[in-house]
C-alpha cells in the first residue's frame, strides 16, 4: 500500500489510502489546503497549469489538483495524466490502470484498479426521500423498508452512480438498468448489484461506508469485484 511519508501525511487533508478489492487502491481526501499548498505537492506541467488557470472557482481548482495528487500517490506513476473520453469518462493516459473519481463538498475520492471500476460519494440529505422513485425500482423501494431511510436511499444512489461510471457510455437508466439486490443495512458493508442492459449484463460486489466530516455525514460506495 502506498502512503505519503509521515511528515507530509500530517500536513495534508488526506484521510486515508486503502486497498479496494484484490488489486485496487482507494484514496479519500478532505480538502482543507489552499491552492498554493497543493501546487507544492506534485510537479505540474505547463499544460496542466494552463488548464488549472482556466477554472474560475477556487474550489474547482482545489478538486482538480487533489485528484491528480492523489492519483499519483495511489498509482506511484508520475507521468500519467487524467483525460476524458467522448462520454466524459476519465481514464489514465500513459498507464495500464483504470480510474474513477467522485467529490462532494470538501471530500474527494479516487479509486484506481487494473480493471474498470466506479466510485461515488454523496452528502446524506433528507431530500433524497423526495426523488427516490426516480432512481429506484418498485421492487427496490419495497425491499428498502423504512429504517435509516435517508442513509439507505443515499446508498442506493451511490451504488447505482458507481455502476453508471463503470459502464461509462451513458444510455442507462438508474431505475431499470442498474439493480441492487436486497441487503441488511449497516454503516459499513457489501452489496451485490447488476447492470442489466442489452449491451451488458454483469453482476458486481460493492463496498460501502458512512463517513463523517465537518459535522456532516456522507455515504461512499465503490466496486470491488465482478461476480
Residues with pLDDT less than 70, the chain: 1-12
- Other CB atoms within 10 Å distance of the CB of residue 97: 21
C-alpha cell at 54: 482556466
Query: Can you point out the beta strands (E) in 12-135?
Result: 14-20, 24-30, 81-84, 90-93, 98-104, 107-113, 119-123
pLDDT at 6: 35
* Alpha carbon distance 172, 179 (integer Å): 11
pLDDT at 216: 94
pLDDT at 183: 94
* Alpha carbon distance 33, 19 (integer Å): 25
pLDDT at 145: 82
C-alpha 119 chain-centroid distance: 3
- Other CB atoms within 10 Å distance of the CB of residue 95: 16
pLDDT at 12: 61
Amino acid at each position: 500500500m502506498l502512503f505519503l511519508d509521515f511528515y507530509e501525511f500530517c500536513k495534508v487533508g488526506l484521510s486515508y489510502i486503502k486497498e479496494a478489492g484484490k488489486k485496487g487502491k482507494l484514496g479519500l481526501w478532505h480538502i482543507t489546503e489552499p491552492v498554493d499548498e497543493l501546487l507544492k505537492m506534485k510537479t505540474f506541467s505547463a499544460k496542466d497549469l494552463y488548464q488549472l488557470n482556466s477554472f474560475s472557482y477556487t474550489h474547482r481548482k482545489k478538486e482538480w489538483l487533489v485528484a491528480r495528487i492523489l492519483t499519483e500517490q495511489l498509482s506511484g506513476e508520475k507521468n500519467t495524466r487524467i483525460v476524458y473520453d467522448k462520454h466524459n469518462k476519465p481514464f489514465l493516459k500513459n498507464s495500464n490502470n483504470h480510474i474513477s473519481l467522485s467529490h462532494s463538498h470538501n471530500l474527494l475520492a479516487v479509486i484506481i484498479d487494473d480493471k474498470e471500476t466506479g466510485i461515488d460519494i454523496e452528502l446524506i440529505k433528507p431530500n433524497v426521500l423526495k426523488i427516490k422513485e426516480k432512481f429506484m425500482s418498485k421492487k427496490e423501494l419495497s425491499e428498502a423498508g423504512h429504517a435509516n431511510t435517508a442513509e439507505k436511499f443515499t446508498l442506493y444512489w451511490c451504488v447505482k452512480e458507481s455502476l453508471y461510471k463503470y459502464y461509462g457510455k451513458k444510455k442507462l437508466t438508474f431505475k431499470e438498468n442498474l439493480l441492487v439486490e436486497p441487503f441488511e443495512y449497516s454503516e459499513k458493508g457489501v452489496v451485490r448489484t447488476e447492470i442489466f442492459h442489452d449491451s451488458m449484463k454483469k453482476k458486481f460486489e460493492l463496498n460501502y461506508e458512512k463517513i463523517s466530516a465537518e459535522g456532516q455525514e456522507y455515504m461512499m460506495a465503490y466496486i470491488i469485484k465482478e461476480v
